[in-house]
């Protein structure tokens, strides 16, 4: 299925085609489908799959894979996601604490740029902010196969359970959009729209964060998207997370097109 808008992503110094971003998403979708099969077993998978099999979905077009995965995650629910990933989440939290301590304040950043002609950065930012405010879990989860749980919390923060970068395990953290003092990502004054917050564990330990910067230019959107990790985070994982960023924001921009495209 073709997108209703043009999306141009730049990773490093290279503009990458939408087809390459979708190919990365499809590979991750197949991987996550395999995780569901391995962790839940045949009966549990059948219970949440609406008559299709994992093998059928592995061969299906990307849009069918995306829709089926989102439906499975919604049916699984929060408790089911915690249970399926409990060992991974415990391990990744330990690794995050070790990584923060070993980094001694140093940070590493995963950065991409996205341009969308005939599209409003201001309207997209309002749409994006509303995802958490209205707790629109379906659109939050649907944007990337590696999203298992994204929800707005009563205090305005956002809970995230996802596979980050090239990590073999999922992680859980909270994004606090009201706190940015531990972010090392510089503010670019050329981008007036800022979506920024710190990623913390339940006890408040800051393990990273985001600063997504947007502007309207020549009738289109330009976005400078950055995620902060502990400095010891492997360079290969930083590079892999660039594709995660390209995937999720491209899909969010498609989802927001009815209100943001001009």
pLDDT of res. 12: 92
pLDDT of res. 165: 81
- Which residue in 148, 116, 141 sits closest to 257, CA to CA? 116
Q: What span, in angstroms and rounded, lies between the C-alpha atoms of 175 and 197?
A: 6
Asked whether residue 40 is domain-assigned, the answer is no
As for how many domains the chain has, the answer is 1
Region 85-93 average pLDDT: 97
Asked whether residue 70 is domain-assigned, the answer is no
Q: What span, in angstroms and rounded, lies between the C-alpha atoms of 220 and 120?
A: 6
Asked whether residue 69 is domain-assigned, the answer is no
Asked whether residue 53 is domain-assigned, the answer is no
* CA distances to 50, 86, 88, 115 from 248, in Å: 25, 24, 22, 14
- Which residue in 11, 244, 7 sits closest to 119, CA to CA? 7
Asked whether residue 167 is domain-assigned, the answer is yes
3 state SS of 1: coil
Question: What would the two tokens of residue 205 be?
Answer: 């330990």
Asked whether residue 184 is domain-assigned, the answer is yes
Asked whether residue 164 is domain-assigned, the answer is yes
Question: Is 51's pLDDT higher than 90?
Answer: no
Confidence of residue 1 (pLDDT cuts 50, 70, 90): low
Task: Report the percent of the chain where pLDDT is more than 90.
Answer: 92
Q: Considering Cα of 48, then 50, then 53, then 57, what sign does the dihedral take?
A: negative
CB 170 within 8 A of CB 193: no
- Which residue in 121, 123, 150 sits closest to 138, CA to CA? 150
Indicate which CATH number applies to the domain containing 216: 3.30.530.20
Asked whether residue 37 is domain-assigned, the answer is no
Question: Is 166's pLDDT higher than 90?
Answer: no
Question: Is 55's pLDDT higher than 70?
Answer: yes
pLDDT of res. 107: 98
One DSSP character per residue, 69-137 reads HHHHHHHHHHHHHHHHTHHHHHHHHHHHHHHHHHHTT-EEEEEEEEEESSB-HHHHHHHHHHHHHTT-H
Enclosing domain of residue 215: 8-17+87-260
90-140: per-residue pLDDT in tens? 999 999 999 999 999 999 999 999 999 999 999 999 999 999 999 999 999
pLDDT of res. 262: 86
The model's pTM: 0.96
């Amino acid at each position: 299925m073709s997108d209703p808008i043009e999306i141009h992503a730049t990773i490093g110094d290279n503009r990458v085609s939408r087809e390459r971003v979708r190919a990365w998403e499809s590979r991750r979708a197949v991987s996550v489908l395999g995780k569901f099969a391995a962790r839940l077993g045949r009966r549990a998978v059948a219970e949440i799959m609406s008559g299709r099999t994992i093998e059928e979905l592995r061969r299906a077009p990307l849009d069918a894979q995306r829709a089926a995965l989102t439906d499975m995650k919604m049916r699984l629910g929060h408790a089911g996601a915690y249970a399926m990933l409990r060992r991974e989440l415990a391990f990744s939290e330990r690794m995050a604490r070790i990584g923060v301590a070993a980094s001694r304040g140093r940070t590493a950043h995963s950065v991409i740029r996205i341009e969308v002609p005939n599209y409003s950065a201001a309207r997209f930012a309002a749409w994006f902010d509303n995802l958490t405010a209205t707790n629109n879990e379906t659109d939050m989860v649907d944007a990337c196969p590696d999203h298992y749980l994204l929800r707005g919390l009563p205090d305005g923060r956002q809970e995230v359970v996802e596979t980050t970068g090239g990590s073999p395990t999922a992680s859980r953290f909270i994004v606090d959009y009201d706190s940015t003092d531990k972010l090392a990502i510089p503010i670019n004054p050329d981008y007036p729209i800022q979506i920024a917050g710190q990623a913390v564990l339940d006890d408040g330990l800051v393990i990273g964060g985001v600063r997504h910067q947007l502007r309207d230019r020549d009738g289109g959107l330009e976005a400078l998207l950055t995620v902060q990790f502990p400095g010891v985070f492997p360079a290969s994982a930083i590079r892999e997370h660039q594709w995660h960023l390209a995937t999720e924001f491209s899909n969010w921009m498609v989802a927001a097109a009815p209100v943001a495209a001009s």
